[in-house]
Amino acid sequence: MFDTTAVTKAPFPVLYEDNHLLVVDKPPQLVTMGAPAGTASLIEQARDYIRRKYEKPGKVYLGIVSRLDAPVSGALVIARTSKAASRLTEQFRLGTVVKKYWALVEEVPQPPGGRWVDWLMHHDRHRKVLAVEAERAGAKRAELSYRLLDPLGGYQCLEIQLQTGRKHQIRVQLSARGLPIVGDRKYESQRPFPAGIALHSRQLGFAHPVGGEWLEFLVDPPSSWPVLRA
């Protein structure tokens, strides 16, 4: 795995960079893309970083192939060419990308490890995603696996691996089982969290879209997270 301690002059930690890719550690409370005018977003900050570093005139191409919700932190890959974007998108579609997250919840899940399959649907009026019956028109299948890790700061820490990539998937599937992520008021948490919510993109692995070599990144949670108990 790559050492993720080095931070460039970018406004976020850069984990890996070449002519095809930019892999970053997204801070919590930063929108990935699509922010209202005048609001900071990761994609615009990344464009400005590339423009300044390489003295590129005009518009800089960057392709977001997988988003993190604004309150979520951690590893995120951005394509620097359309070829890389297309090939990375295909890897995500085929499910060959390794995506592991850490989430803090208050209760121990039962059982402490396993697999969850739900059907999710966006609720426009409430602006949130709901777990619904499988036969509901428009519902999409969501699957993840999870295991219980050591406690963090008095909370239960889950490692979650996504098999699908639905909007708000982890947040909804946990909340549907009475395990809302700490700080996630949108999905029923009553506990505050210092920055964003206690969901972090811990590990990201994929084949380089041009060279083909396997790249894997392991990223510690931000300083707002509690310290791992010995």
Give dist(CA 200, CA 68) in Å, integer.
Answer: 9
Q: Which residues are catalytic?
A: 69
* DSSP structure class, residue 59: P
Give dist(CA 192, CA 175) in Å, integer.
Answer: 16
Give alpha helix (H) positions in the chain: 42-54, 82-94, 169-175
Give dist(CA 63, CA 43) in Å, integer.
Answer: 8
CA dihedral (92, 84, 23, 40) in degrees, to 10, reads -90
Give dist(CA 156, CA 184) in Å, integer.
Answer: 15
Half-sphere exposure of 64 (CA within 13 A, CB side): 18
Give dist(CA 142, CA 189) in Å, integer.
Answer: 21
Helix, strand, coil tally for the chain in percent (to 5) = 15, 35, 50
